[in-house]
Structures are given as structure tokens and as C-alpha cells.
Amino acid sequence: MIISIKKQRGLGIKIALSFSSLLLLRIDSANAQKKDTVLLRQLAPVTVTATRLEINEKRLPAALTVLNGGRIQIGQPQLSMFESLGGVAGLFAQNPDNYTQDLRISIRGFGARAAFGIRGIRLYVDGIPESTPDGQADVDNLDMGAMQRMEVMRGPSSGLFGNAAGGVISLQTENAGQMPLAEVQGTVGSYGMRSWRFKTGVQHKKLQMVFVATRNQSEGYRANSRMESTILNLKLRYDFDSLTRLSVLANYGTSPVADDPGGLTLAQVAENRRQAHPNNLRFLAGESVTQGRVGITFEKTMGNHLIFVRAFGTKRDFANYLAFQAAGAGTINRTFAGGSFQYQFSQKFDFLSYRFRMGLDLESQGDTRRRFDNMTGVRGKLTFDQLESFKNIASYITQELSYKKITMLVGLRSDVIRLKATDYFMSDGDQSGGRNYSRINPTLGLSWEVSPSVNVYSNLGSSFETPTMSELSNNPSGTGGFNPELNPQQALNYEIGAKTYFGQRVRADLALFTIEVKDELVPYQITGQAGRVFYRNAGRSKRQGIEASLNAMLAKGLTLFSNYTYSDFTYREYQTSAGKFDGNVLPGIPKHAAQVELRYFMPSGLFAIAQVRHASQLYADDANAVTANGYSLLNLRLGGQKTWRKFHIEPFVGVNNLLDETYFQNVQINASANRYFEPAQGRFWFGGLKVGVNR
């Protein structure tokens, strides 16, 4: 069988992949049985770590989704987390194609306000925080081709993780024993997309080393949307014995080019949806970023006792150009470091088991922020110069008590936060100042195993979220210092749910939640400064929702993964100079979102994956006067996996948005000059080849 992709819109390549040789290769029954076992493990409960305490997810009194390496990597371009996140109920992601603004992720509404990057969600990689203490996270240095697992926890997480933890995404990279000795992968696709990756995992006695290098390039669907990036990952792990482990983790990412086509009006979209906004072209809007991080973790188990120590440091240099002149160019030089000490004790008494983990987290962030006039892509005079610091000291305790079929999880965390701004731009006076916050957040969860097939649970907890330093420094007055009108967001979270397992081949999860939010952080823009986002607090808002997922092994080799989310998020008390918005729907989040995915793996090694992703219309402004249309996308992937002696090969081809649906990949909330819309790319073809050497 020959699969050929001819030249399509924006695709200046011809890919021809032959699978005939794969069909001629013999597969023994043991390998086929192994594939079925792997599929069954995708439906069975597993041990998770996103809760601080390792716990079987079946007994966890919280909503959590686990994606393994196969769902993250197989047949995917692996350009961003967006490719996998549709498999998580309660999570909505936008902006996969604008690498200047980065991926926007919201979990139960937390994070929807982000102008760029991730806000309100804690992100970890191998236990090392990607999120800064003030709640920012950027994913431009993450390589999904290096990931073997993703855990996404929804619900009240601040009792476990502190500031800006409306949800937690924990990623784990591959270990040497789980990957080939060496592997190379090349992927090409529409709109000039090219990706090259090299991976190697070496294990010698007690030491293992994993190295992954990736180069990504794209010309982009729209004008002025070119991107280049290089990502390097190194992991060293030394097992002194089965109970003692030391890991060193290093990451380096650089993106010298990430152009920004900007938001368009509906009239401009109708004229030419692939155009960039004229001001974005005129002022050469875009960014460049370089980041390096080193982390060290040490873990030792001594009978009923466990000690975990973590230390890390990150350096990030960022420069951008916005689509206007006055203070339209900026730089941020960021340092972010921290450490953590954790102690865990476990004890069993007949039918009763008890565990607790207590810890201390110390984190410090320093941003040197400067702004200049944007003289059409050249920095002009200095208009802003400020050193900002965010320090967080936190202590916490998490306890688990299990008696027969009942599990109780209790958490309590205390955070002391100190913010400071030192103004070095004195032309408009000294705007130096600071903020101090102290918060105590509890969480309580109960889980009951009603039967071997059914677990029900309930939890409640409080959470809080300070404005990030970028949000505080975007002062509508135009001066330095922090915006004096901006306050932290607080929330009270309630959740009930059920987890069901039928015959190890069917799994269904259901969660219902209510969140009461005070001082909701809401973005808006000012005329003449498109691209710079300011923030204000809404009085009160309420979020209610339903999250459901159904996963099943339908037949030998055929697996279904599906989920649905209903979001009813409204303002209760919110008024600005533009009007009163009580009862209006929060912008940026669809009321209905769903994904259905069928994966078929043949005994011969061939596979086919079909995916439908749906989102209903959403509002783009607080007044609910502007809407972005809903959409349903059909994505297909075909490929084959074959091992011959010490070699393996995996060719694959795919198409996203097969039906060429017209929709928006991002909506700028409360945008100025009606520039709300960022059109999504059309039909996107891709193909690649992975070749590896096994041990």
C-alpha cells in the first residue's frame, strides 16, 4: 500500500511513504498480546504524583486525567501540548499557532485571562516548577517528544501548591530504560513546518542519561507568523540503591524568531483571514526568548520515612515588539530560583493506614523590566525601567487516612508573599513600592469505594491567585510601580464526582463542580496600545460545570477516548465605566466542549487514529456583544510501527482540520479597536519518519 500526499494549500512538499514492507513482516502472537495489555493499562487506575502524596488515582478524591506517552507522541508532530490537551475534560486550550503569545490553557476557567503564556495553573516537569512564584508559565521550552506522561489535576489545588494553582499539570520525561538507545525523527508539514529530533537514553549500572535535542521551524499560516526554536533536555539519574535516588535535570530553549500577526477585526477577517494586521507589519511585532534551567532532586526512603529535597534555578531573557510606538518595545531579564524540603511518614494499623507529608517551599523571582519606544522594529528612547521581585515562603502538610473502603485527604498550606518594585526611571517620579500577602488555604477530600467498580468522592477547598508581576506593572496610569487598584483573586471550590471501572475495558468519570470567585482578574485593552493587556477586578463571579469522560476498549486493538465539558461561568457583581455586567457570561470559554478519539492498532503494527474536537461559540467581551463561532474539527493520523532485530521504524502521516473548518484559534478578550480575532490555520497536512536503535 502506498500513501501519497500531493501538494496542498501551503504545502510545498510531496511525501511518499511505503507500508508494503511492513505488511510482509511477521508479527508473533506474543507481540499482539503485549499491545492489548498496553491498551488495557490505559484504562486502568494508576499511581499518580500530582497530589504531593503518591496515591492510586482510583482512591484520589479529586478529578484527575492521565495521558501516557503513546497518546502524547504516536503519530503527532509534537510541536506543543495543544495536540494532547483535548483529551482532558475540564480543560480548554487556545492559541496553538501564535508562538509569540504562547499556548493559553484554562482549567475550569482558571487561566482564561492570560494575554500570553499560562496563568492560574501550576506547571511542573519532573517535579521542577515551570511556573514562577507569581503564577506565570511559558511552554516554549517544553519538548513533547521527550514526555512519557502527563497528569492533569483539576479542582482546589492551592492547599497543596499555593499561589495560582487553579489546576496542576505535571509532566514526566522519559527514562533511559523506557526509550531506545538512539532515535531520530523528522517531520514536515503545511505552511513550512519542519521539525527534527534526536533522542538517546544510556544506562550503565546505577547511572542513566537521557538527552533530547529538537529543532522546530514554521513559516506560519498567516503573514508575519514565522517561528524558529531549539530545545535541549538532559537528565542524569543515579540510583544509589532501590531506595535512594539523585537526579540532575537541565533544559535549554531558545526561540530567536516568533513573529506576531496580531488580532483582526471581523471586516479584516472577511477580506483576508491570512493577513497580519497592518500595524503588526509596520512595527515588526514579535518576540525572542532564551531560557536555561537546572534542577536537582534527591529522594530517600527509610522504612516508613521518606525525604525529598529539591533545588532549581532558571534564567530567562525575553524581548518583544508590540504593534504601537509609545513604550511598544520591551525586555525582561528574569531569574527564578527555589528549593523545597519534604518529609513523609507512613504507618499501617490493621484496616487503618495513615500517611502525611509536610514540607517547606522557598521561591524567589526577580524581573528587570524595561520598555522603549518602538521605532518600527528598532528600540527608541527608554520609557520604563523597573526591578521587580516576588518572594514566597510556604509551609504545608498533607495527610491521608484510609479505613477499609474510605479515604480522606486533608491539606493545609500557609503562604507568605512579598512583592517589591524598585523604579529606576525617575522622569515621572519615583514609583517604587511593594505588596505583602499572607494566605492560609485548606483542602478536604473524601473517597468511598462503593463497589470494586465504583468510587465516589467529594472535596472542597479554597484557593487564591495574586496578579503576576507583568499584570501589576501594566499600570493604566502609564507610570511605573504596581497598579494600586489590582487585588488578588480568591475562590472557594466544591466538587463531587464518580469514577467507574467495568470489566477493566470500560472506564467512565464524572465530576460536578461549583466555584465562587471574588475579585476575578479580568483582562482589557486600551485604544492605541493593541497587544498590551491591562487588568481589573470583577466583584464576584460563579462557575458551575460538568465534566464527563468515557474510555473503552471496543474490540481487539480498537480503543475509544472521549470527554465532554459543560461550563456555566457568569459574573454576579461586575461594573466598569462601560456598563454593568451582572449575569453576563465570562468571555473566552465555550459553554460546551468535547473530544472523541478512536485509536486502532493492528497486529501488523499499522495504526489509524481519528479525532473529532468540538467547541461551541464563546464571547469575546464582558458585554457579551461579540462572539467567536463554534467549530468541529476532524483530525486523522495513519502510520505503522515495526521492530526488526535491534531496529524500529515508525512512518506516519496525518491531517488536522481535514474538512477545512473556518474558525478562530484565539480570541483576545476585551480587545481594543475590535481586534478580537486570530484566525486558525486551514487544512494542515504533515508526515514524518521515526527510526531508532533498541538496546
Question: What does the alpha-carbon distance between residue 673 and residue 543 come to, in Å, rounded to a whole number?
Answer: 29
Question: What does the alpha-carbon distance between residue 601 and residue 613 come to, in Å, rounded to a whole number?
Answer: 21
Question: What does the alpha-carbon distance between residue 665 and residue 454 come to, in Å, rounded to a whole number?
Answer: 38
For the beta carbon of residue 298, count every other beta carbon within 10 angstroms: 14
Question: What does the alpha-carbon distance between residue 462 and residue 455 come to, in Å, rounded to a whole number?
Answer: 24
On whether the CB atoms of residues 84 and 100 are closer than 8 A, the answer is no
Sequence spans of domains, the chain: 2-693
The grid cell for 341 is 524540603
pLDDT attached to residue 42: 62
Rounded CA Rg of the chain: 25
DSSP assigned state of 110 = B
Strand partners, 439: 415
82 phi, psi to nearest 5 deg: -55, -35
Question: What does the alpha-carbon distance between residue 605 and residue 25 come to, in Å, rounded to a whole number?
Answer: 9
On whether the CB atoms of residues 13 and 188 are closer than 8 A, the answer is yes
Strand partners, 633: 613
> What CATH number is given for 2-693 in this structure?
2.40.170.20
pLDDT attached to residue 15: 33
pLDDT attached to residue 16: 33
One-letter amino acid of 319: A
The grid cell for 535 is 487588568
Residues 6+ apart with CB under 8 A from 215: 194, 195, 196, 197, 229, 230
On whether the CB atoms of residues 256 and 217 are closer than 8 A, the answer is no
Residue closest to 609 by CA, chosen among 620, 621, 591, 595: 595
Q: Between the CA of residue 464 and those of 107, 155, 388, what are the distances in Å?
A: 15, 12, 21
Residue that is written with C-alpha cell 511598544 in the block? 328
**Four-residue CA torsion sign, 234, 239, 240, 244:** positive
The grid cell for 166 is 487553579
On whether the CB atoms of residues 447 and 471 are closer than 8 A, the answer is no
Pairing of strands 631-640, 642-644: unpaired
Residue closest to 368 by CA, chosen among 424, 418, 290, 291: 424
Per-position b or e across 528-548, b if 16+ CB within 10 A of its CB: ebbbbbbbbbbebbebbbbbb
Per-position b or e across 476-515, b if 16+ CB within 10 A of its CB: eeeebbbbeebbbbbbebbbbbbbbbeeebbbbbbbbbeb
What global pTM score does this model have? 0.92
Question: What does the alpha-carbon distance between residue 207 and residue 201 come to, in Å, rounded to a whole number?
Answer: 11
Residue closest to 171 by CA, chosen among 99, 90, 66: 66
On whether the CB atoms of residues 319 and 330 are closer than 8 A, the answer is yes
Binned average pLDDT, 10 residues per bin, the chain of 695 residues: 35 34 32 45 72 83 92 91 93 92 92 88 94 91 93 82 90 92 97 97 95 97 97 97 96 96 97 97 97 97 96 97 95 97 93 93 97 96 97 95 94 96 92 94 95 94 93 88 93 96 89 97 88 92 97 95 98 94 97 98 95 97 97 97 92 97 96 95 96 91
